[in-house]
Copies of this chain bind each other. A is one copy, B any other.
Protein backbone atom coordinates (compact mmCIF):
# COMPACT_ATOMS: atom_id res chain seq x y z
CA UNK A 1 0.00 0.00 0.00
CA UNK A 2 2.33 2.73 1.25
CA UNK A 3 6.10 2.61 1.22
CA UNK A 4 8.15 2.21 4.36
CA UNK A 5 9.30 5.81 4.00
CA UNK A 6 5.80 7.14 3.66
CA UNK A 7 4.73 5.17 6.70
CA UNK A 8 7.59 6.55 8.77
CA UNK A 9 6.69 10.10 7.83
CA UNK A 10 3.03 9.52 8.62
CA UNK A 11 3.93 8.12 12.02
CA UNK A 12 6.24 11.03 12.78
CA UNK A 13 3.65 13.63 11.87
CA UNK A 14 1.13 11.79 14.03
CA UNK A 15 3.43 11.92 17.02
CA UNK A 16 4.30 15.59 16.55
CA UNK A 17 0.78 16.75 15.84
CA UNK A 18 -1.15 18.08 18.80
CA UNK A 19 -4.84 18.39 18.05
CA UNK A 20 -5.26 19.89 14.61
CA UNK A 21 -2.19 22.13 14.72
CA UNK A 22 0.22 22.18 11.80
CA UNK A 23 3.55 20.42 12.17
CA UNK A 24 6.52 22.30 10.75
CA UNK A 25 8.91 20.95 8.16
CA UNK A 26 11.85 21.38 10.48
CA UNK A 27 10.24 19.54 13.36
CA UNK A 28 9.73 16.53 11.11
CA UNK A 29 13.25 16.77 9.71
CA UNK A 30 14.80 16.93 13.18
CA UNK A 31 12.76 14.03 14.50
CA UNK A 32 13.59 11.85 11.50
CA UNK A 33 17.25 12.78 11.21
CA UNK A 34 16.69 13.96 7.70
CA UNK A 35 16.87 17.28 5.87
CA UNK A 36 14.11 19.85 5.52
CA UNK A 37 14.23 19.60 1.75
CA UNK A 38 13.53 15.89 1.86
CA UNK A 39 10.58 16.57 4.12
CA UNK A 40 9.14 19.12 1.72
CA UNK A 41 9.30 16.57 -1.08
CA UNK A 42 7.53 13.96 0.98
CA UNK A 43 4.86 16.33 2.26
CA UNK A 44 3.88 17.06 -1.32
CA UNK A 45 3.64 13.36 -2.00
CA UNK A 46 1.56 12.69 1.10
CA UNK A 47 -0.74 15.56 0.14
CA UNK A 48 -1.15 14.08 -3.35
CA UNK A 49 -2.17 10.79 -1.79
CA UNK A 50 -4.59 12.54 0.52
CA UNK A 51 -2.72 11.40 3.60
CA UNK A 52 -1.74 14.87 4.77
CA UNK A 53 -2.81 18.43 4.25
CA UNK A 54 0.19 20.52 3.29
CA UNK A 55 0.31 24.30 3.37
CA UNK A 56 3.59 25.62 1.93
CA UNK A 57 5.69 27.53 4.42
CA UNK A 58 3.18 26.71 7.14
CA UNK A 59 3.48 22.97 7.70
CA UNK A 60 1.35 19.86 7.48
CA UNK A 61 -1.26 17.88 9.35
CA UNK A 62 -2.68 14.40 8.77
CA UNK A 63 -5.98 13.97 7.00
CA UNK A 64 -8.59 11.56 8.34
CA UNK A 65 -7.02 9.05 5.98
CA UNK A 66 -3.51 9.67 7.23
CA UNK A 67 -4.65 9.50 10.82
CA UNK A 68 -6.26 6.10 10.31
CA UNK A 69 -3.10 4.91 8.65
CA UNK A 70 -0.88 6.22 11.47
CA UNK A 71 -2.97 4.51 14.12
CA UNK A 72 -2.65 1.17 12.35
CA UNK A 73 1.13 1.50 12.14
CA UNK A 74 1.27 2.40 15.82
CA UNK A 75 -0.96 -0.58 16.63
CA UNK A 76 1.50 -2.84 14.86
CA UNK A 77 4.53 -1.22 16.46
CA UNK A 78 3.18 -1.61 19.97
CA UNK A 79 1.85 -5.13 19.54
CA UNK A 80 5.22 -6.26 18.23
CA UNK A 81 6.87 -4.63 21.24
CA UNK A 82 4.62 -6.59 23.57
CA UNK A 83 5.40 -9.76 21.63
CA UNK A 84 9.14 -9.20 21.91
CA UNK A 85 8.95 -8.66 25.66
CA UNK A 86 6.32 -11.26 26.53
CA UNK A 87 7.30 -14.06 24.21
CA UNK A 88 10.90 -13.48 23.19
CA UNK A 89 12.48 -12.29 26.44
CA UNK A 90 13.45 -8.86 25.18
CA UNK A 91 13.99 -6.11 27.74
CA UNK A 92 11.89 -2.97 27.35
CA UNK A 93 14.90 -1.06 26.13
CA UNK A 94 15.68 -3.54 23.36
CA UNK A 95 12.40 -3.60 21.51
CA UNK A 96 12.19 -0.27 19.78
CA UNK A 97 14.52 -0.78 16.81
CA UNK A 98 13.15 -4.18 15.94
CA UNK A 99 9.55 -2.97 16.22
CA UNK A 100 10.54 -0.13 13.93
CA UNK A 101 11.13 -2.75 11.23
CA UNK A 102 8.27 -5.08 12.11
CA UNK A 103 5.66 -2.31 12.05
CA UNK A 104 5.92 -2.23 8.25
CA UNK A 105 5.02 -5.87 7.63
CA UNK A 106 1.80 -5.99 5.63
CA UNK A 107 -0.70 -8.63 6.72
CA UNK A 108 -4.02 -7.99 8.33
CA UNK A 109 -4.31 -11.55 9.55
CA UNK A 110 -0.82 -11.51 11.02
CA UNK A 111 -1.44 -8.56 13.26
CA UNK A 112 -4.89 -9.62 14.40
CA UNK A 113 -3.68 -13.11 15.26
CA UNK A 114 -0.70 -11.63 17.07
CA UNK A 115 -3.12 -9.49 19.06
CA UNK A 116 -5.05 -12.63 19.97
CA UNK A 117 -1.91 -14.59 20.89
CA UNK A 118 -0.91 -11.82 23.28
CA UNK A 119 -4.37 -11.70 24.87
CA UNK A 120 -5.39 -8.34 23.40
CA UNK A 121 -3.02 -6.24 25.50
CA UNK A 122 -4.06 -2.66 26.21
CA UNK A 123 -0.57 -1.22 26.76
CA UNK A 124 2.88 -1.67 25.28
CA UNK A 125 6.02 -2.16 27.42
CA UNK A 126 6.43 1.61 27.72
CA UNK A 127 2.91 2.21 28.95
CA UNK A 128 1.54 3.46 25.64
CA UNK A 129 -1.99 2.41 24.67
CA UNK A 130 -2.49 -0.12 21.88
CA UNK A 131 -5.23 0.70 19.35
CA UNK A 132 -7.63 -2.14 18.55
CA UNK A 133 -8.53 -3.36 15.04
CA UNK A 134 -10.79 -0.38 14.56
CA UNK A 135 -8.26 2.14 15.76
CA UNK A 136 -9.83 2.80 19.14
CA UNK A 137 -7.68 3.14 22.21
CA UNK A 138 -7.84 4.57 25.70
CA UNK A 139 -6.45 8.01 26.15
CA UNK A 140 -4.53 8.06 29.43
CA UNK A 141 -4.61 10.54 32.21
CA UNK A 142 -0.96 11.16 32.80
CA UNK A 143 1.23 14.06 33.79
CA UNK A 144 4.89 14.74 33.23
CA UNK A 145 6.91 14.72 36.44
CA UNK A 146 8.42 18.01 35.31
CA UNK A 147 5.02 19.64 35.71
CA UNK A 148 4.41 18.43 39.24
CA UNK A 149 4.95 20.18 42.54
CA UNK A 150 6.41 19.26 45.87
CA UNK A 151 4.25 16.70 47.61
CA UNK A 152 2.56 15.30 44.51
CA UNK A 153 2.64 11.51 44.20
CA UNK A 154 1.58 8.90 41.69
CA UNK A 155 2.64 5.80 39.83
CA UNK A 156 4.74 5.63 36.69
CA UNK A 157 2.45 4.88 33.76
CA UNK A 158 4.58 5.89 30.80
CA UNK A 159 7.82 7.25 29.43
CA UNK A 160 8.15 9.97 26.84
CA UNK A 161 11.47 8.68 25.51
CA UNK A 162 11.79 4.98 24.66
CA UNK A 163 15.48 5.03 23.90
CA UNK A 164 17.66 2.29 25.28
CA UNK A 165 19.83 4.85 27.07
CA UNK A 166 16.97 6.31 29.03
CA UNK A 167 15.31 3.00 29.85
CA UNK A 168 18.58 1.55 31.10
CA UNK A 169 18.90 4.53 33.40
CA UNK A 170 15.50 3.70 34.85
CA UNK A 171 16.43 0.02 35.16
CA UNK A 172 19.52 1.01 37.11
CA UNK A 173 17.33 2.71 39.68
CA UNK A 174 14.72 -0.05 39.62
CA UNK A 175 12.13 2.29 38.24
CA UNK A 176 9.53 0.59 36.06
CA UNK A 177 5.91 0.96 35.04
CA UNK A 178 3.85 0.82 38.22
CA UNK A 179 6.58 2.16 40.46
CA UNK A 180 5.19 4.60 43.04
CA UNK A 181 6.86 7.99 42.93
CA UNK A 182 6.61 11.05 45.16
CA UNK A 183 7.97 14.54 44.52
CA UNK A 184 10.01 15.46 47.58
CA UNK A 185 11.50 18.73 46.43
CA UNK A 186 12.22 20.88 43.47
CA UNK A 187 15.41 22.86 42.99
CA UNK A 188 14.57 26.27 41.49
CA UNK A 189 18.13 26.81 40.25
CA UNK A 190 18.31 24.01 37.67
CA UNK A 191 14.75 22.72 37.81
CA UNK A 192 16.00 19.38 39.09
CA UNK A 193 13.87 17.22 41.34
CA UNK A 194 14.29 15.17 44.43
CA UNK A 195 11.93 12.22 44.27
CA UNK A 196 11.17 9.16 46.30
CA UNK A 197 10.97 5.84 44.51
CA UNK A 198 11.33 2.34 45.93
CA UNK A 199 11.86 3.79 49.42
CA UNK A 200 14.93 5.58 48.17
CA UNK A 201 15.54 9.23 47.50
CA UNK A 202 16.76 10.10 44.03
CA UNK A 203 17.92 13.30 42.37
CA UNK A 204 16.74 13.65 38.81
CA UNK A 205 17.50 16.35 36.27
CA UNK A 206 14.79 18.32 34.52
CA UNK A 207 15.49 16.32 31.37
CA UNK A 208 14.61 13.11 33.13
CA UNK A 209 11.57 14.62 34.80
CA UNK A 210 10.50 15.60 31.30
CA UNK A 211 10.34 11.99 30.22
CA UNK A 212 8.40 10.39 33.05
CA UNK A 213 4.61 10.21 33.04
CA UNK A 214 2.76 9.68 36.31
CA UNK A 215 -0.83 8.89 37.00
CA UNK A 216 -1.60 11.04 40.03
CA UNK A 217 -2.93 9.54 43.20
CA UNK A 218 -6.44 10.56 44.36
Contact = CB atoms under 8 A, between A and B. Distances in A.
A191 interface: no
Interface in A80-108: 84, 87-90, 94, 97-98, 101-102, 105-107
- Each complex incorporates copies of this chain amounting to 2
Contacts of A90: 109, 113
A154 B105 CA distance: 39
Interface residues of A, number: 18
A117 B105 contact: no
A89 B110 CA distance: 9
Q: Is the interface of A mostly helix, strand, loop or mixed?
A: helix
A109 B87 contact: no
Interface in A101-141: 101-102, 105-107, 109-110, 113-114, 117
A88 B101 contact: no
